[in-house]
Chain A
Amino acid sequence: MFNLILKDILLQKKIIAFIFLYAIIFVFAFQSSEIFGFVAVVMAVTYTSMNTIASIEDKNKADVLLNSLPIRRKKLILAKYISIWIYMFMGILSYIIVTNLIKAFGLPIKVFPITVEAIMAAIISVVLINSIYLPVFFKFGYTKSRIISLILFISIFFGISTGMNAIGFHQNKMISEFFTNLSDIQITSLTIALAFLILLCSYLLSLKIYQNKEF
């Protein structure tokens, strides 16, 4: 399992540099929207990583190799779902590094510390995108599902920003009260539980599709 994920990272080692570029661009672009810059970085890093690896595997017809090796199809699918978390972590890390560098050099760019809400918003967006995208990808392959992943990314990107504004600016009393009445631990556990539930459903669907797939 570990080797499957490591292989994905090894295959796209070239784009590690881009991760920092994203962090710089989004931190700069979202100076006025507090934590949204952070969510954008995590989303963009995960989206790019998942897409890059999908395109490389597609180009190399990796399914033939992977399914000729003694690896269970279940494991191949699971590795993809675990790697989502690794890319999220990489996104978070790049945000931390870039914002700390900005602070250390005293650059005139406003940076915001990462809050629990921001991490939760990032997790929910990334999980949502990939939970819809992965089953589509396993069913139709990279070329046909590429557009779906882009639409998903854009709509959830703007969906989340609208949602967060609503909470942030107290335009919607019910939602904001609901969130302010919860403790951080409650928000965290609720979000994580929801994320895992969505991922589990998506995983089971992907598995069913991939088990019957022909190469």
Chain B
Amino acid sequence: MDTILEVKNLRKNFKDFTLKDICFSIPKGFIMGFIGPNGAGKSTTIKLIMNLLKKDGGEIKIFGLDHIQHENEIKNRIGFVFDENCFYEELTILEMKKFVASMYKNWEENTFTKYLKEFQLPPKKKIKDLSKGMKMKFSLAIALSHQAELLIMDEPTSGLDHGARHELLDILSYLIQDENKGVLFSTHITSDLDKIADYITFIQNGEIILSTTKDEILDNYAVIKGDRNLLNQETRKYFIGIKENQFGFEGLISNKNELNRVFANHVVIEKPSLENIMIHYMRGKENV
């Protein structure tokens, strides 16, 4: 299987934060959800991939090419959508498009016009007068009009209302039908990914906690609920995170198959959401 993005032992040291030798890869034709709490290292990783930050170690390969040696060629094939609007607020959509288009080798004016209509973007409006959702759609229109093969999106849904979020997710799932494309989608709102992501990479405190297919996660992990007296030193070991209250406990385990052996039929088993998984990892067993 061809990989479109490969990150190997990527390291970056800051005064108060370190990205610790992280590894993950995205195969062609898939959407990778990049999740983790705020400050976990998602944006740092994305900035390192875009060479906006300089890495201290490791390797990043995009389309099989080193991301610094072939920086220009790679950036011609990448579309980016960032959380904060990064376009010149004073320019109109058309003026901004004209500048950006002149930088890309493979710009397709017809495609841009098509998306402009589809997203109902007013070409003569200044970017500062656009709503957050429209700014995101403009970024997306730019990203899609130069035939980007890899879309890198840093928190594209943050600040969007429900409707705009769903629109974005629909566009992405349509887009990924092209098997040569790939998407890296960072978010702290995991419900965005429940529907559309094929792979999940979960980062916390600069470390990758897990990186695998979403199905594998959902097949193996389970949220279990039961009576508190089921918890003892032995059984607690199986949990990634446990929440207890006076009535009982709720915990996350990573190996569903062990479940029957340990708890027999005394517990309720639920399919976890990505949210459950992220929160239990963050909580850990500190309450134990």
Q: Which of B50-58, B168-176, B278-286 contacts A (4 or more CB under 8 A)?
A: B50-58
Minimum C-beta distance from A61 to chain B (A): 6
State the interface size on chain B (CB cutoff 8 A): 28
**Of B52, B80, B91, the contact of A215 (CB 8 Å cutoff):** B52
Is the Cβ of A70 less than 8 Å from the Cβ of B76?
yes
Bound Cα distance from A70 to B89, whole angstroms: 21
Min distance, Cβ B249 to any Cβ of chain A, angstroms: 45
From B78, B80, B84, B88, residue with most partner A Cβ within 10 Å? B88
B residues within 8 A CB of A61? 84, 86
Whether B72 and A70, one on each chain, are in contact in the complex, defined by CB atoms closer than 8 angstroms, is yes
B52 lies within 8 A of A67 (CB): yes
Chain A contact residue count (CB 8 A cutoff): 22
Report B80-122 residues with CB < 8 Å from chain A CB: 80, 82, 84, 86-91, 95, 99-100, 102-105
Q: A67-B52, A70-B76 are in contact. Are A62 and B100 (CB under 8 A)?
A: no
Whole-angstrom distance between the Cβ of B127 and the nearest chain A Cβ: 9
Is A71 positioned at the interface, with any CB of B under 8 Å from its CB? yes
Inter-subunit contact A71/B80 (CB<8 Å): no
The reply to whether A10 and B103 contact each other, CB–CB distance below 8 Å, is no
Decide if the interface of chain A is mainly helix, strand, loop or mixed: helix
Q: Verify if B75 is at the interface (C-beta below 8 Å from A).
A: yes
Q: Which of A70, A214, A215 contacts B105 (CB 8 A)?
A: A70
Q: Decide: A215 and B47 in contact? CB cutoff 8 A.
A: yes
* CA A139 to CA B104, docked complex, whole Å: 28
Asked whether B103 lies within 8 Å of A71 as measured between CB atoms, the reply is: yes
Question: How distant is B55 from chain A, measured CB to nearest CB, in Å?
Answer: 10
> Are B103 and A69 in contact, with the CB atoms below 8 A?
yes
Query: Beyond A70-B75, A215-B52, is A11–B90 a contact (Cβ under 8 Å)?
Result: yes
Instruction: Collect the chain A residues with CB atoms within 8 Å of residue B80's CB.
Output: 68
Known: A3-B102, A68-B75, A70-B72. A214 touches B50 (CB 8 A): no
In the complex, per-residue mask of A1-36: 1 if CB is within 8 Å of any chain B CB, else 0: 001001100110000000000000000000000000
Q: Which of A6, A64, A72 contacts B72 (CB 8 A)?
A: A72
Chain A, Cβ-Cβ closest to B84: A61
Find out whether the CB atom of B53 lies under 8 angstroms from the CB atom of A214.
yes
Interface mask (A65-96 → B, CB under 8 Å = 1, otherwise 0): 10111111000000000000000000000000
Shortest Cβ gap from A159 to chain B (Å)? 35
**B88 in complex: contacting residue of A60, A69, A71, A72, CB < 8 Å:** A60
Q: Which of A6, A67, A69, A72 has the most CB of B within 10 A?
A: A69
List of A residues within 8 angstroms of B72 by Cβ: 70-72
What are the residues of chain B within 8 A of A70 when measuring CB–CB? 71-73, 75-76, 103-105
B-chain residues with CB within 8 Å of residue A3 when the two chains form the complex: 99, 102-103
Q: List residues of chain B with CB under 8 Å of any chain A CB.
A: 47, 50-54, 71-73, 75-76, 78, 80, 82, 84, 86-91, 95, 99-100, 102-105
